[in-house]
Structure 1
Amino acid sequence: MTAPNEEASIGMLQSLQEIATMRLSARNQIQGRIVEVRPGATTTHVKIEIADGVILTASITNEASEELGLKIGDTATAVIKASDVMVGV
């Protein structure tokens, strides 16, 4: 019999595989290439080049970064939720 944590891990892997093939309702999806992955104390900053010299930076949990196995050079899609976008001047 497997331990509860092992079952949770298997479930998470299945969920990640489902997400990889899932279509999203979010229309703000921008494809690019990962140019930097910088882990911090609790979050990882991921820089995605979406056009020549145009960099989009996302902050995700360290756990999510590890689960996704993000590496420089990987193709990635940034999905932007309007409720999380802030503008400063």
Structure 2
Amino acid sequence: MMKISARNQLPGKVTAIQPGAVNGSVKVDIGNGVLITANITEEAIAELALAEGDQVTILVKASDVLIGK
């Protein structure tokens, strides 16, 4: 297994994949009704062979997290 520096790792299940011209949208259910959407390249979706129902890990590494109201 590859070691990574991201400490925010959330297991979940792919619930939907919406293809796009360059980037696709992947929705992941991490439990308790919480969905996370990741926009990743179509190439990455293909390389990972992502499909609905797959168990995946969401990795969050951000230098900034912004909230507005």
Number of residues of Structure 1 aligned to a counterpart in Structure 2:
69
Quick check: which one's strand share is greater? 2
Q: What is aligned with 1:68?
A: 48
Cα offset for 1:84? 6.2
Distance 1:88 1:68 in 2: 33
Q: Which structure 1 residue ranges, 4+ long, deviate > 3 Å from structure 2?
A: 84-89
Query: Which of these two proteins has the greater Rg computed from alpha carbons?
Result: 1
Q: TM-score, normalised by structure 2?
A: 0.88
TM-score w.r.t. length of structure 1: 0.70
List gaps (5 residues or longer) in structure 1: 1-20
CA distance in 1, matches of 2:53, 2:13: 6
Deviation at 1:26, TM superposition (A): 0.8
The match for 2:12 among 32, 49, 73 is: 32
What CA RMSD, in Å, does the superposition of the two structures yield over aligned residues? 1.5
| Structure in which a larger fraction of residues adopt helix | 1
Which of the pair has the greater relative contact order for Cα pairs under 8 Å at 6+ separation?
2
